[in-house]
Amino acid sequence: MQGGLLPIFVHPDTGYFRYKEIRLGSRGDSYYEYLIKQYLQTSGQEPVYREMWEEALAGIQKHLVTCTKHSKLQFIAELPHGIGGPLSPKMDHLVCFLPGSIAIGATEGLTEKEARNLPGWNSQKEQQMQLARELMKTCWAMYAVTASGLAPEITWFEVDEADIGPSSRSPPMARSNNDKSSWEQDLNIKPLDEHNLQRPETVESLFLMYRVTNDPIYRKWGWEIFKAFKEHMVVKDGEGYTSLQDVTKVPTPQRDNMESFWLAETLKYLYLLFSPKEFLPLTEVVFNTEAHVLPRFNQIKFQRGWNRREL
């Protein structure tokens, strides 16, 4: 492990990492998400997971965060050849779990206003919240630039070549703009990536960001996404919703299959986005990667069965 980031492949016989590819999309996302959620679920009794989360987030900021050429939208790139190699300017929709996880990691489920009044609040947490806001905007832009108003499975970004060269980069500090026309210049969708599988990651983060910040923009974006889902995904007889073949077209070609996580996660998070904060408060529960609601444990004492060592 280098910079808190892990390659996505593990050899089944040796247990050692195989190859160098690093990404927070497919095959890599849940590891990072569970670092902070495990810490929160056990009410801070396992601080090693907080340490590993902070190391990973620092590595993400140093090695993976870059910005688009025109609008300066920040996104999480990939490292096909590991740290020290060039970035690949693509981001899976799966990566949109990250802004919400960053927000609950910085505040531990409190509102941002409440967390700022605690002694442990510092400039690092402010920077983390700013990154969460920027990434949330990028995830929304993935929806906003398409004809259907729905995001593709993968988005590619226009970048300056200097921003994706062999990594000696500093995290981008400039804030992005809100000009949709410049977003359209910066976001590209390849033919094999045009489909939408009814994924929940963006609306999950919108729910968490709204609960933490109380900013109504996240409800507004969530409502626009919900309307687009209803318009384009409902099947002909109105008795179900299907994934889509190409979000760049209207009418949007349908696939004739409904993913299980559409009901279990996507609609659940949209419902929670518009629910009162007293319903399943983030200070009392944690949502796992499949949106199951788990209580935070306060009375049970935990002792993990392993010790961390440097590799």
240's CB contacts (< 8 A; 6+ apart) are 234, 258
Tokens encoding 84: 């020290």
Q: Is 289 annotated as a binding residue?
A: yes
Task: Give me the pLDDT at residue 79, please.
Answer: 96
In which residue ranges of the chain is pLDDT below 70? 1, 162-163, 165-174, 299-300, 302-305, 309-311
Cα 292 to Cα 190, 197, 264, 302: the distances in Å are: 33, 20, 8, 21
Task: Tell me how crowded residue 91 is: count the other CB atoms within 10 A of its CB.
Answer: 26
Q: At what angle do helices 29-41 and 98-107 cross, to 10 degrees?
A: 30
Tokens encoding 189: 């969708």
Residue 51, judged by CB atoms within 10 A of its CB (0-12, 13-18, 19+), counts as middle
Task: Give me the pLDDT at residue 158, please.
Answer: 96
CATH domain 28-295 topology: Glycosyltransferase (1.50.10)
- 49/47 Cα distance (integer angstroms): 5
Domain boundaries, the chain: 28-295
pTM above 0.85, yes or no: yes
Q: Phi and psi dihedrals of 289, rounded to 5?
A: -65, -15
Task: Give me the pLDDT at residue 2, please.
Answer: 79
pLDDT tens per residue across span 194-230: 999 999 999 999 999 999 999 999 999 999 999 999 9
153 has catalytic annotation: yes
Q: Which is catalytic among the residues 112, 153, 204, 265?
A: 153
Task: Give me the pLDDT at residue 170, please.
Answer: 58
The answer to whether the peptide bond before residue 7 is cis (omega within 30 degrees of 0) is: no
Got the DSSP string for 201-244? HHHHHHHHHHHHH--THHHHHHHHHHHHHHHHHB-TTSS-B--B
- 64/79 Cα distance (integer angstroms): 7
292's CB contacts (< 8 A; 6+ apart) are none
